[in-house]
Structure 1
């Protein structure tokens, strides 16, 4: 309102109020009536002013949202990024060289899966001895993807023992779904479950947050203000949740419960077999989900894969190993090389360095399968360090040379820390807990003194040198203690590396 209008309104109010007061004073009640009228005017004026302000309020502006066109563009952007991400990961792991291992998959036991009619949406496929029949192979992932698309709810649980190839199959499935995506297919996004606090954050909010963090291009202005949340809300994302076994045991059944709250939404979940069975026993099955489980590798499967990894004319030791592998299915070599993880170790320690494996057949040195595996694990770090020379231009190569023994010692320290903490999720902001208490105390004092001196130099100019240094040390100790107990709280850029018995994550991403 212009200035003259404000003065006009004030003058009208003054004139009207004065007139009313004068008339009231001349009435039979005199000043008493005038006082009552004045009190009434004073009381009603704010109410009248509020009514006028409400009537003149600006129309409510809805919160900005991404348009359908922007969400569709964001979906295409996400699909391109996810495909490029996992293509690179598959190339780094050499999963296509010479080709995926032929891990076979079958339906899991009926007691960990929903009713067949809920899973298949039709009459179940033929049974044999009361069991649903299903076969699939990792090296024929196109058939697995086609079967997944026929599921009415597109819900799948992938089970297997440690190192059995669950995540590898899932990676190949994600790539296959993206390479042959239909127009209305959701974008499969692989996310580690260990990052989700199911008790504190709804699934949709967590997925939207992870999309915004892991794929920051979705926050670009061209996609509107809320593209990640809109993608999740419109079911344009297929969450591929890796590692239910990596969350705390009491939480696993609650995770399944949260997923059942959105039972119509598609999802892919991986977990170790025993841990999943325990979670189902505690909280029930995952509604509408097909549950498949890896079958043990046969010696013939292992020998065929090793043969494909070898050059046309391998060294003399390889026929010896292959004969031991296929000729004695119950022997130490066959028992050891019965998982995709073990074959990966053999490839890294013996195949790629062109080493002679004949010594693995010496039963005086390796009387059991565990002895063979321990030998491979003891030598894999050195083999990886030697096969990955420093390269500052490569994002997944070391920046400086690492002596193999030094790298092994440091990784063993981290493995011991994870074993002691009961976790396979390496969080750098918790590493202060790995240090022995005397070392932690000394480090805290050194950090505190350093911060104290720095603070003292600054504050000493104002408060005097002695007061500044002493006060700075006190502040340093307090800050060090607070950081030690609350390191990694919200707002800190985090990076995780999964380390566990399922295999080393060489690139810092998902392991086997």
Structure 2
């Protein structure tokens, strides 16, 4: 038996060494072909191999589970309630810390105002209203210090069906409003009630998944819930219709209207222009039975009151707004009339000991666009002090380095036309010939070795994981060589998230707003 174990170990070592040699040879071949059209074909060819391997691994895993006699789980009434409560706890766990990191209640909720939009952008009032009355309702309001539950009151208004579309321009506060409302609904939820779940529409491709399939996959991916839940047991909060490719938006609106019962509450957000363009493509069809609210400019007195209360320099802000009113016709109040700009003004003009961040300096800027650009440019200097302070993990990030790293990431995301930043996609910063060889052969080497030692299923699955991981490690070496990104990239992303430059959406990071990403490019 001892001799057999030695022989087996020797075989595995030989396979491991052979796999390493194959990886090195493939790297050289890929380098040789780096300017050749053949590389494009290789990339597609190995993508097919990877996908086939993944499917095979899945089939083998399912067969293994079946052969082990694993019983199917059929939840009863009590199990259903437990599953819903577990999902609600998971949603709370994901988004409660994000509320704090995004400063959405720091120390008071950022103000948001809206007006009511009627037909034809909205459905007929007789469909929107739960009693069938065709009389229009005035839902105009402003969520501020005096009315912190304003949106919650709209969603729970007994005259309505609980279905709302929220429109607004960039920076108007759509996502922030939805996040806050998700947590407010969770707070008000009682057992057996539908669970409010925040879902990001850009992750859905209606050409590949039905709405139900996509929701099921998102519950598993974002909230770790793999138990069967019907759509009727959910209160979907669907964010970012405008971030979907244009051809998919119309199909998404149709699917949402057709999938959910008219009496099932839901919320959808979108930029105004993209939503109107989508309705145009639907030839008059709109979101069934949904009230439509459009986020509007926040009144100057609300902006003024918030900045005086939320910063440590109320007198400076009072003086700035007084001068703005008497000398500039309210130009500054107009520039700060949306949550994004109010929050940036708070962050960048809080410390009274800094001579270059007096609120009155904003009065020297000629127009709204210049004020917005100035606030975006001031964010990184404001959150990365000079000299630097160690983060909670002991890393020290110098301002100039952080600025360079963030610009590199913004350009990478811009080239890929995405708002999402996932570590497994950072390997795309490498040239394709390096990415192809390092990822594929590293994964195959690991897969062959582990497969021989522990079985084909584990080997194939591990190989697929290592394909991304191997390419990621090569990318890290490349970044450090060029000083584009730090070796401890995950620590840097977590710290940028802590400082408020990035936000987290499920398993990916995003810049706190797409406008910041675009400015950094």
Secondary structure at the counterpart of residue 380 of structure 2: helix
1:408 aligns with 2:403: yes
The answer to whether the aligner puts 1:176 opposite 2:188 as a matched pair is: no
RMSD (Å), alpha carbons:
3.5
The 1:184–1:357 alpha-carbon spacing in structure 2 relative to 1, beyond 3 Å, is same
Checking the alignment, whether the CA contact within 8 Å between 1:113 and 1:289 is kept in structure 2 is yes
Q: Deviations over 1:447-485 (max 9, x none)?
A: 499969x99xx9xxxxxxxxxxxxxxxxxxxx89x979x
Q: Report the counterpart of residue 371 of structure 1 in structure 2.
A: 370
SS in 1 for 2:349: helix
1:213 correspondence with 2:221:
yes
Secondary structure of 1:112's match? coil
**How many residue pairs end up in the alignment?**
384
Partner of 2:97: 88
Change (3 A) 1:88 1:353: farther
Counterparts of 1:153-302 in structure 2 under 5 Å? 153-216=161-224, 218-219=225-226, 227=227, 229=228, 231-233=229-231, 235-264=232-261, 265-283=264-282, 284-302=285-303
- Once the two structures are TM-superposed, the CA of residue 419 in structure 1 deviates from its matched residue by 3.1
Alignment of 1:412-451 (within 5 A): 412-434=407-429, 440=431, 443-444=434-435, 447=438
Q: Deviations over 1:277-308 (max 9, x none)?
A: 11111122111111111121222221111111
Contact 1:194–1:425 under 8 Å retained in 2: no
Matched-pair contact (CA < 8 Å) for 2:155–2:162: yes
Cα offset, 1:384, TM superposition: 2.2
1:70: Cα distance to partner? 0.8
Distance in 2 separating the partners of 1:281 and 1:124: 27
Could you say what secondary structure the match of 1:107 adopts? strand
Contact 2:85 2:191 in 1 (8 A): no
**TM-score normalised to structure 2 length:** 0.65
Question: Hey, what's the Cα distance between the residues in 2 that align with 1:324 and 1:88?
Answer: 38
Give the direction of change, closer, same or farther, for the CA distance of 1:328–1:273 in structure 2 (3 Å limit): farther
Matches of 1:188 and 1:353, distance apart in 2:
41
Aligned pair partner of 1:136 in 134, 137, 141: 141
- Distance between the aligned counterparts of 2:305 and 2:389, measured in 1? 27
Give 1:336's aligned residue. Answer: 335
| Cα distance in structure 1, aligned partners of 2:108 and 2:218 | 31
Alignment of 1:298-337 (within 5 A): 298-311=299-312, 314=313, 317-327=316-326, 330=329, 332-337=331-336
- Which residue in 1 is equivalent to 2:154? 147
Separation (CA, whole Å) in 2 of partners of 1:446 and 1:262:
44
Partners of 2:315 and 2:471 in 1: how far apart? Answer: 58
1:418-469 CA distances to partner (integer Å, 9 max, x unpaired)?
334433233444444455xxxx2674599499969x99xx9xxxxxxxxxxx
CA distance in 2, matches of 1:497, 1:353: 31
Name which structure has the greater RCO, CA cutoff 8 Å, separation 6+: 2
Matched-pair contact (CA < 8 Å) for 1:141–1:169: no
Q: Assess if the C-alpha contact under 8 Å between 2:171 and 2:338 holds in 1.
A: yes
Distance 2:440 2:273 in 1: 50
**Alpha-carbon shift at residue 501 of structure 1 (Å):** 4.4
CA contact (8 A) 1:193 1:244 kept: yes
Q: Helix, strand or coil for the counterpart of 1:106?
A: strand
Per the TM alignment, residue 90 of structure 1 is displaced from its structure 2 partner at its CA by 1.9
Distance 1:448 1:322, change over 3 A: closer
Deviation at residue 317 of structure 1 after TM alignment: 4.3
User: Which runs of structure 2 are paired with 1:375-390 in the superposition (5 Å)?
Assistant: 375-386=374-385, 389-390=390-391
- Aligned in 2, Cα 1:169/1:361: closer, same or farther, shift over 3 Å? closer
Equivalent residue number for residue 459 of structure 2: none
CA spacing shift, 1:428–1:67, aligned 2, 3 Å: same
- Cα separation, 2, equivalents of 1:408 and 1:244: 30
Question: Contact 1:310 / 1:351 at 8 angstroms: preserved in 2?
Answer: yes
Q: Which residue of 2 aligns with 1:499?
A: 511
Q: Which runs of 5 or more residues in structure 2 are unaligned?
A: 1-69, 450-466, 476-505
TM-score w.r.t. length of structure 1: 0.66
SS in 1 for 2:171: coil
1-side partners of 2:381 and 2:437: how far apart?
Answer: 34
Q: CA deviation at 1:203?
A: 1.5
